[in-house]
Each structure stands twice: as C-alpha cells, then as structure tokens.
Chain A
Amino acid sequence: MTYAIEGWFTVEEDGARLLGTRCAGCGTVCFPPRHGSCPNPRCEGTDTETVRLPRRGRVWSYTNACYPPPAPFVAAEPYEPVTLAAVELDEVGIVVLGQVSGLTVEQLAVGMELELTSGPLADGPLVWMWGRAS
C-alpha cells in the first residue's frame, strides 16, 4: 500500500503507529516529525530521533464534515460525512487530529479512548485514522 504521506506513520504487524521526533536536548516530542530543530524556544538542540508515538489516547474533541471538503481532498462518491477526532495521546501530551474509521459523531464522546489505525483515502493511499480501542 502507498502511504499518503511518508514518514508520519507506519503500519506494522501489530498495527499503525504515528511517527514523531524526540529532541535529544530537552526531550520534547513532536508530531508531525520535525528534524534538525526543536520547537522549545529555550532549547538549541538539533539532534532528533524518530520515535513511535503511543498508540492510544483520549478524545479532546471531535466533529465531522457534512459536505464534501474542497480539493485537494478527494471525496468518495457517494459522499459519506468524514468524521474527525482530535485525540490527546497518552504520555506525550500531544493532541493529534485524524479521520475516524468506523465511528460516527453520534458514537464519540470527549474523553473516550481511541486507538490508532489506518485506512485508505478515496483515491487509494493510506492515511492514519482513529478507531475504536481494541
């Protein structure tokens, strides 16, 4: 399968994982991955290592797109509302936005636990998605 974006997530035997970076200087973790500099203004670190981010987190908020989003999004036909969730990852304190697979807004709640998965965009390539915690 082709990834819709390289280096942001990986799909392995045990499931999908977001890829972030950790600053060797101050320990700040970033998603999307950020190489060569640290977002912490008091850190001049330039060494970063790629890390697999925690798979689970809790819903910070959620919504959907009742109308097809504009290009470059490729909407499925017939269009079904895309569900989106912003999930606060365990341990690293980052809220990550993603499409939601297999759940509608009626089935989501703030604080609910979700787990990372992946799924195809309408034109094929894979993207990370949030799904029901196993």
Chain B
Amino acid sequence: MSVAVLGVGMHPWGKWGRPFLEYGVAAARAALRDAGLAWTDVQFVVGADTIRNGYPGFVSGASYARALGWSGARVASCYAACASGAQALDIARTRILAGMCDVALVVGADAAPKGFFAPVGGDRPDDPDWLRFRLLGAANPAYFALYARRRMALHGSTPADFAAVKVKNALAGSLNPMARYRRPVTAEEVLASPMVADPLRLMDICATSDGGAAVVLTSESYARRHATRYVRLAAVSTVTPVFPNTVLELPDFATDSCAAVPAPERPFRAALAHAAYEEAGAGPRDVSLAEVYDLSTALELDWTEDLGLCPAGEADKLLRSGETALGGRIPVNPSGGLASFGEAIPAQAIAQLCELTTQLRGAAGARQVPDARVGLAANQGLFGHGSAVIATT
C-alpha cells in the first residue's frame, strides 16, 4: 500500500519576511523539477494551511494552485496544527491509493511572526488556546518545560543532556543548506543562554521560522514509468489520542481523568509511531534514521523512546554514546531538526519527508546516513494532532 515520492523540494528556512506563498511556490517548483514533471502534470494539489497569514492561508491548496497558474487540477486544503503537512500527505496518498489520480503535489509553507506564538486575536474565551494565555500565561515553551522537568524527575536527565541534544543537532544542521541555523554550538553556549521556561533555555527551544516544503507523490505504476528508482511512502499515521489521555497536551488546562477508565497501553506519541510501524510492516529495529519533532531538546529524548528506538529512560544514554548522532547506529534528526530549522508549522512535516527521501536516495551529502533503507518521521501539535511517517527504499 505504498505510493512513490517522486520529487521533493524546499525553500530555505529563515526569517525572510516575504509572503508564505512565495516559499510554497518555490518549494513546489523545486519538487516538480526534482520529479521531472511539469505543474500541468499534477492532477491533485493539497495545501497544508497556515492560520497566521489571512484567508489565502486557510485555503492554501487553492492559493498555491492559483499562484502556479490555474490548471484545473483538483484541490484540497487542510489544517491540523503541527501535523498539517502530514495530513496533507495522507490526503494525497489516499486519493492515489484509491486509484483516483496518479500525480499529486503536496505543499506547505509559513511566514511566522517573531517571538512566542500567540493565539489568534480578539476576545475569545471559548477557545482554550486563547484562554490558556489569558488565565495562565502558558505559552508553548511552558508545556515543553513541563515535559522536560518531568523527564528530569522520572529519568534523571540533566540540563547538560538537553544541551548535548542541541550540540548534536546544530552540528547536523551546519551541514544542511536548507537549515536556518548553520553554526555549530557548544554545550557551554547552550547552558549560558537565557532561561526561558525553567529548565529550558533559549537554545533548548525551537524558533519560529519562515520556510516552505513540497513533495510530488505518484502511484507506483506511474513512478515505474518515469523513474528507475524511487522512494516509497509506506505509512502515514495520523491517529488521535485514546481516552483517557493522561499527558497534559497543548493547549489544555488538564488531562483526562484515569479514575473511571484506566490509561491506554500506549501514550499518544508512542501510539502515533506504533500505527505507522503496523502500516509499514516494520519495527524500530528496521529504522535507519528518524526525524522527530524537537520542539525542545528534551522532547527529542522523549521521542527517541516513544518511537521504540530505546527503552524508556535510556535516550540520554543513547545520546551520550553518540548513537543518535550522524555516524551513530540510529541517527536522530540528521537534518538538524527543529533546533536548526525553527518551526514553519505547515511545512515542517513535509520537510521531514524531504529529509527522509534525500537520505533514502543516498543524496544527503555530508550528513548522509550510510545505507539508509527505512526512515521514520514523527510530529505532534496542538489539539490532539500528530503524525508518524515511514518511507522506505
């Protein structure tokens, strides 16, 4: 049940100050060039929406189609917070797998404001995302910090462990021309950066960025006619949490109660990965590299365990042994991750697939993972959205 990833393209991440459409169109054209296809070959275009760029951002599929030139292609747009890109991929591949089209283009791009993400404006007490700021001042880094402190208490992680994640990812990002931050950093720099949300410092937390990413997906039969080798998209998991969700999620005030119904076997992040493994017929031992959503340094360690790459509580050890770095047994965030990119929300999950594809093609240059065969990307955002994507050679 795979589709082919025939082309990938990105606009470099940064703080460019231009309209999101420019980044998306640049990425789309790059992906089409990479696939050797013309825009007019695309039968279905799917946009991952941005909610901070006005109406065109809410109907991004149509916005991209119009910017590329109305071609009569079918269109869809979707928003799923940080998982928007993954849901866009899922919508495209589902239509292909249903036999309703052969060639789909998936695009996501964002132009992000400076500083903390703030809720959409107005006086909107019925929106928990608005209310958490109003009542608690709980910006996103507060939640990342709660997870980090919890990890320190449960597993003995230290700020030095978190800094080591940043050092690792900055080094990988320094090798990636699409990354926003391309300077290697030292642990001392991380530990000397200003405290933002105790125990997390500025350099532990991902920035908000401008960027764009696109992929061309096709049916395998179409791919065989147009390419000698191609990467396969083997799984896209977008499962929702299972009640009772006992981890405090953004933007919630509280968890579900586990008094009447016991907590599920797998917490949400682990469930996202599990569903992708099941769909791809693969397991953690098969994974050559993983791109995970390191909204904070500490969260990368949680993800490493949630994906089953090591037992709970052992991600720090895996990190310290160098196994998750480039050159290690199971590189995590060989792209440099959010630590090097910053978050361009609807583009990010698509960018993760771009990295998997580039690695599986053996085309990642200085950050190439040797003999990469299976790539896993995972992501989580607000309101119970998340994704796990598996690509294979």
* Chain A positions near chain B (C-beta within 8 angstroms): 4-5, 23, 26-32, 39-42, 60-73, 75, 82, 84, 86, 91-99, 105, 109-111, 121, 127
Smallest Cβ distance from B119 to chain A, in angstroms?
7
Contact with A along B244-265 (1 / 0, CB 8 A): 1010100011111111110000
Question: Are the CB atoms of A63 and B259 closer together than 8 Å?
Answer: no
- Which partner residue on chain B sits nearest A104 by CB separation? B198
Per a CB cutoff under 8 Å, which of A5, A29, A84, A97 touches B125?
A5
Question: Are the CB atoms of A97 and B119 closer together than 8 Å?
Answer: no
Docked complex Cα distance between A23 and B243 (Å)? 15
Question: Are the CB atoms of A94 and B142 closer together than 8 Å?
Answer: no
For B146, the chain A residues whose CB sits under 8 A away are: 60-63, 84, 86, 97
Per a CB cutoff under 8 Å, which of A42, A70, A92, A95 touches B115?
A70
Docked complex Cα distance between A71 and B130 (Å)? 9
Cross-chain pairs A/B with CB under 8 angstroms, 10 sampled: A4-B135, A27-B259, A29-B259, A30-B257, A39-B244, A40-B244, A84-B136, A86-B146, A93-B257, A121-B135
Question: Are the CB atoms of A105 and B198 closer together than 8 Å?
Answer: yes
**Could you tell me the dominant secondary structure of chain A's interface residues?**
loop
- B256-303 residues with Cβ-Cβ distance < 8 A to A are 256-261
Smallest Cβ distance from B301 to chain A, in angstroms?
15
Question: Are the CB atoms of A99 and B136 closer together than 8 Å?
Answer: yes
For A27, the chain B residues whose CB sits under 8 A away are: 259-260
- Which partner residue on chain A sits nearest B200 by CB separation? A63
Question: Are the CB atoms of B118 and A64 closer together than 8 Å?
Answer: no
Docked complex Cα distance between A5 and B130 (Å)? 13
Question: Are the CB atoms of B197 and A66 closer together than 8 Å?
Answer: yes
For A91, the chain B residues whose CB sits under 8 A away are: 259
